[in-house]
Structure 1
Amino acid sequence: MSRLKRMAGQDPRAGFKAGGRDCGTSVPQGLLKAARKSGQLNLSGRNLTEVPQCVWRINVDIPEEANQNLSFGATERWWEQTDLTKLIISNNKLQSLTDDLRLLPALTVLDIHDNQLTSLPSAIRELENLQKLNVSHNKLKILPEEITNLRNLKCLYLQHNELTCISEGFEQLSNLEDLDLSNNHLTTVPASFSSLSSLVRLNLSSNELKSLPAEINRMKRLKHLDCNSNLLETIPPELAGMESLELLYLRRNKLRFLPEFPSCSLLKAEEEEEKELVLLSHVQFKPKTHCYSRINCVYSSMLFSYCKFISSAYKMNHLSEMELHVGENQIEMLEAEHLKHLNSILVLDLRDNKLKSVPDEIILLQSLERLDLSNNDISSLPYSLGNLHLKFLALEGNPLRTIRREIINKGTQEVLKYLRSKIKDDGPSQSESATETAMTLPSESRVNVHAIITLKILDYSDKQATLIPDEVFDAVKSNIITSINFSKNQLCEIPKRMVELKEMVSDVNLSFNKLSFISVELCVLQKLTFLDLRNNFLNSLPEEMESLVRLQTINLSFNRFKMLPEVLYRIFTLETILISNNQVGSVDPQKMKMMENLTTLDLQNNDLLQIPPELGNCVNLRTLLLDGNPFRVPRAAILMKGTAAVLEYLRDRIPT
């Protein structure tokens, strides 16, 4: 009875008023009864214009069943039942909340999104156990000062309101990890935000920000910073001090240059080598003539060596790898000075800007995996781009003249291959090439020995061959091979001799073949991180693929899969699954939730009749593509809002 006495201390009427008398049909008694047992109550989507008193007093009043039963079983002991800890009253028509909110001090989750609230009651300060507060999609113009009393708050969602400023003392929410202020009318971010030392995700998109405070760099744990759709013209260079930053979104602003991140403190030897390269950087390239001079070849070689050197130095300084999204701005030029300090970047999105060229210093971005240059004004590409290990390169919407459209249409690897071949063609003199050919065995004449020795690639692509000749594998000899490209052939099975390279290979491209099954030769490549199997005849994957414990990206697009292969759920290192243009009819959201590294899932153009709401719990997904499926919900308008909106929509529809 201690619980009743405690509640009686808060309200003198407690214990003398029967519950549920004012609820009518809006809150069934069975729902209240279940809530007393579980501590959770979901009243979402009930057209409520106010919260019934029986909800506020659920912890205070004696339930009706106490008056109906004189003998109680274990499940009917209402005096032992739990306090309400989770209350969901979203998707209603609430215009205000009363101070009776204080009668629910045990709440850890309060979800009131999608209502018509213009303010929050001052009694909210008494919810000292609150950890998650969702007040998104309302009409809040200001936050009560009392909200700063919620010291245990970890997640605060305020997107899609009418906020014009942030309350004083907001920095007192020292445990806050996830803060969403997107789609409001904020014009400034207070410097005091820097005191939110636990913050991991901060969404400031779709506001009216013209600048960011330099002090933001004190958020040492911040991983995701979203400033899309603002009025930013510059970014404070202090952002480079945010060692944990992994995602920086700056799309749809007014930037004219890449963020000027200063370099980390490097070794003195680095600085000396950098000076040499700066002197050489004044050498003029002539891409229109398709010819490099000898000194340009020397420069490219030194630049390539330097980027490897500086890359290792950056890793020694423990810089996090990050994504930088600056599409839809007004960037006209990429300067070497900016690229030099982005060495640890994984994704660079520059689509829809005003770029006219890409500098040769792009080779400094040795960690880069995805580069989007779509819809710019680029007429030529530097050949050095071919030496990057890109997995995705977007070039659509540019007036490119130095590379044929048919090569671009063949995809990223073919473009890189072409650019590398131009380096080879324009590099050594004819006499040197003749010497190299003379030293090559006749049986190796069909093999790209230069790619094996220099680029560590075993390339036998676009030959329309039904088998890979032994001479291709023989040409490897004692060289180290990290990539295999056997795409655009007529292979019906995995070449058995790939087993010989199992200790070395990390990238394998077998796309555009006639594979109908995957044999064990592929499953023994222990270092495999990237696998391209698109455009084949596959409908299943072998269970043995579970042994690929380093696999990060797999492309299964344009095959014949009717379900997501079960084995993929057990490869926990996977970060990207591309399985568009198949016949996939279902996915298992519970198993997918266990894939904590999965950030990209492409399910476009499949046969999904419904999207399970539980998929919304896969919060690590940054990109979820669902277009071209026959499901009715989520609607196209939701899909257009992006991955975060889709996941939130799905989570809101999980049955409780």
Structure 2
Amino acid sequence: MRRGRGAHGHDSLSGFRTQRSEPAVPQGLLKSARKSGQLNLSSRGLYEVPQSVYRLNVDPPAEAQDAVSFGGSDRWWEQTDLTKLLLSSNQLTALSEELRLLPALTTLDLHDNKLQSLPRAIGELQDLRQLRLSHNQLSAVPLELFSLTLLSSLTLQHNLLESLPPELGLLTSLIQLDLSRNRLQELPCSLGDLRHLQKLNLEHNQLGSLPDSVGRLSSLRLLDCSGNQLTTLPPSLTQMVSLEQLFLQQNRLTLLPALPGDSLKELYLADNQISALGSEQLSALSVLSSLELRGNKVSILPEGALPSTLSRLDLSNNDISTLPPSLGLLSNLTVLLLEGNPLRGIRRELLTKGTMELLKYLRGRIKEEPQDASEKPSGMSLPSHSAVDMHNISALKLLRYSNKQAESVPDELFEAAAGHCITSVNFSKNQLSSAPSRLLDLASSLCEVDLGFNRLSCCGPELCGLLKLQHLDLRNNLLCDLPPELQNLTKLHSIILNFNRFRSFPAVLYELTNLETVLLGNNQVSSVDASRLQALVHLSTLDLSNNDLLHVPPELGLCSALRCLSLEGNPFRTPRAAIVAKGTDAVLEYLRSRIPS
């Protein structure tokens, strides 16, 4: 007789052996799911999906064994089909083919698990609209998945995919497709069949080229190909009539590609090998507002080729030795980055004074053509003995009263500007304690205001009523807060608040969902609400350097639009300085890795 077994061969020690039983789901949770059609089992340490979940709408519930009641809350037979199943952040390695027992699912969230494969039964979920499979170990997906013709969002980032089948083009309802951080070396030509696709993320793969069919993606608004091995782009890219944002950082491009000129607003080309900028390609970008060329080999800027719509231009770490004077005519430009270039003929202190002063200097170098006496602007003199520059007002639509050390702006200046549709105002480097009330006279056309280097301690209705304002420069003032009424500036794209007295991130900025640039360096900010910051879906530049941040929230890594994040000079311990020095992408990736499962 063997040790541990009775006379009839039974295992007498079985009661002492540990067995992994089927994970239990609280009956109350299942009961609630039958009523609501939604079941959230995220972060429950599940190694497998319980059978009771698959059979939620098939088997009678436990309460069916009790006495039948006709009370409104006890009618167990009145069930709602499960439409939303959340299983993220568990330890799942596989799913059962019994997934087909949940045919009404419209949302299935499986991200952050250990899935190595998917069941073929997934193709029977014909009502599925959202499928989240990111952060798993998938090296392939079953062909049945591509029969889900109603699928609008498919996220597969952070997997092990090396290729995709031609059947990808059958997902004709897709609006969002995320294939980032896989091992893809090429894409099927059928990609061009996804005519409703609006957002395509291909960053950090091994792509050497894009299929020419990508030009057929007529609805695509965002294309992210950063961190690949692209050397060229297909000519068909010019046919993408809806493309607004194009990310091509960290590739192997040597020339500026032909691009869709009538729609592209943001172009990111940092860390490539571009040595020359074609005038023809640049001048065709008629609505471009942000151009990033950091870390290339550009040596010459074509004279007059940059579009007048540019508001942000990053040329840092190139080989530029001279700047064309015509750069000073870019009236919308508020951020110009030139660090790391061998510039000659421009004093270092001028570069540190900010974009507006540099542009003013460049404009001063433009040789004016001789004018007839009849065209010569008349000289208007203010009480302060400063002449009104009618050329700025009439030709550049610029109202300038800068570097006067004045406590107010003369009314005569506004009277001279009447009827000229002023788009830009520069009252920087004065002693203003408040914004001039007559700014509201220009509200119908004013897009840019520079009040930097003054003594403003608050923002009043003079600024909050400028509903067309896109760029606001308030650097080097005495501000410690911004009023809630500032949320009226729904078109605001950039705000500069460096060198003020802010102790926290201004709450009203979380409400300005069109913000692209927030510069808040050299203040005393001690915290930032990363969850609210995620609502700023267009925020690409955030400067929080030289503040009092003791903690950087990991959720900041989920701000997917961020391309430039400055955190230097804060007392936090993590991320370490070595990670911060690697740049924005490294910081964001580190922060995402710190998000609790």
Same fold at TM > 0.5:
yes
1:414 counterpart residue number = 357
Structure 1 residues 496, 170: CA separation in 2 closer, same or farther (over 3 Å shift)?
closer
Question: Structure 1 residues 250 and 526, CA, compared in 2 at 3 Å: closer, same or farther?
Answer: closer
The answer to whether the Cα contact below 8 Å between 2:103 and 2:127 also exists between their aligned partners in 1 is yes
User: Hey, what does 1:127 align to over in structure 2?
Assistant: 125
The 5 Å alignment of 1:188-207 reads: 188-207=186-205
Change (3 A) 1:602 1:29: farther
Bigger mean CA deviation after superposition, 499-508 or 402-411: 499-508
**Which residue, out of 276, 286, 294, partners 1:343?**
286
Deviation at residue 583 of structure 1 after TM alignment: 3.1
Deviations 1:41-75 (A, max 9, x none): 22223333222222222222222233356546433
State the alpha-carbon separation in 2 of the partners of residues 243 and 568 from structure 1.
Answer: 31
1:173 counterpart residue number: 171
Q: Deviations over 1:177-208 (max 9, x none)?
A: 11111122222111111111111111112122
Residue 140 of structure 1 and its aligned partner are, at CA, apart by: 1.6
**1:171 positional shift:** 0.8
Cα 1:379/1:596, change in 2 over 3 Å = closer
Please list, as runs of the form range in 1=range in 2, the aligned pairs for 1:195-594 lying within 5 A after superposition. Answer: 195-261=193-259, 319-363=262-306, 365-388=307-330, 389-423=332-366, 426-428=367-369, 439=379, 441=381, 446-447=386-387, 449=389, 450-469=391-410, 472-473=413-414, 476=417, 479-542=420-483, 544-545=485-486, 548=489, 550-562=491-503, 576-580=517-521, 581-583=523-525, 585=527, 587=529, 593=535
Q: Are 2:127 and 1:185 aligned?
A: no
Q: For 1:113, which of 100, 103, 111 is the aligned residue?
A: 111
Q: Give the TM-score normalised by the residue count of structure 2.
A: 0.84
Partners of 1:214 and 1:80 in 2: CA distance: 52
Answer yes or no: is the 8 Å Cα contact 1:534–1:559 preserved in 2: yes
Secondary structure of 1:174's aligned partner: coil
Give, in whole Å, the separation in 1 of the partners of 2:291 and 2:477: 30
Change (3 A) 1:135 1:322: same
How many Å separate the matches in 2 of 1:398 and 1:586?
33
From 137, 140, 161, give the equivalent of 1:163.
161
Deviations along 1:377-420, one digit per CA (max 9) or x if unpaired, are 11111111111121211111111112222111122212111111
8 Å Cα contact 2:272-2:295 kept in structure 1: yes
| Cα distance change on mapping 1:474 and 1:590 into 2, 3 Å | closer
- Partner of 2:54 in structure 1? 56
Equivalent residue in structure 2 for 1:146, among 144, 147, 165: 144
Classify the secondary structure of the residue corresponding to 1:110.
Answer: strand
Identical counterparts, % of pairs? 48
Q: One-letter code of the match for 1:195?
A: D
The whole-number CA distance in structure 1 between the counterparts of 2:591 and 2:549 is 20
Taking a change above 3 Å as real, the CA distance of residues 176 and 335 of structure 1, as seen in their structure-2 partners, is: same
CA distance in 2 between counterparts of 1:572 and 1:118 reads 38
- State how far apart, in whole Å, the 1-side matches of 2:132 and 2:260 are: 37
Query: Does structure 1 conserve the Cα–Cα contact (< 8 Å) formed by 2:530 and 2:553?
Result: no
Query: In structure 2, what is the Cα distance between the partners aligned to 1:166 and 1:617?
Result: 26
Q: Which runs of 5+ in 2 are unaligned?
A: 1-19
Q: Quote how far apart the aligned CAs of 1:162 are.
A: 1.6
8 Å CA contact 1:444, 1:475 repeated in 2: no
Q: Counterpart of 2:136 in structure 1: which amino acid?
A: N
Aligned counterparts of 1:437 and 1:121: Cα–Cα separation in 2? 77
- The code of the aligned residue for 1:408 comes to L
Query: CA offsets, 1:152-173, max 9 Å, x none?
Result: 1111111122212112322111
**Equivalent residues, number:** 570
Q: Is the 8 A contact 2:268 2:293 kept in 1?
A: yes
The one-character-per-residue Cα deviations of 1:209-229 (angstroms, maximum 9, x if unpaired) are 111111211111111111111
SS in structure 2 opposite 1:420? helix
> Do the aligned residues in 2 keep the contact of 1:131 with 1:152 (CA within 8 Å)?
yes
Give yes or no for contact 1:556–1:579 (8 Å, CA) kept in 2. Answer: yes
Moved more, 435-444 or 119-128: 435-444
Give, as a single letter, the amino acid of the residue that structure 2 aligns with 1:486. F
Cα RMSD for the two superposed structures:
3.8
Q: Any conservation in 1 of the 2:233–2:257 contact (CA below 8 Å)?
A: yes
Q: Which whole-Å CA distance do the structure 1 matches of 2:572 and 2:40 have between them?
A: 26
The residue matched to 2:144 in structure 1 has which SS? helix
Residues 69 and 75, structure 2, Cα contact 8 Å, conserved in 1: no
The 1-side partners of 2:160 and 2:513 are apart by 41
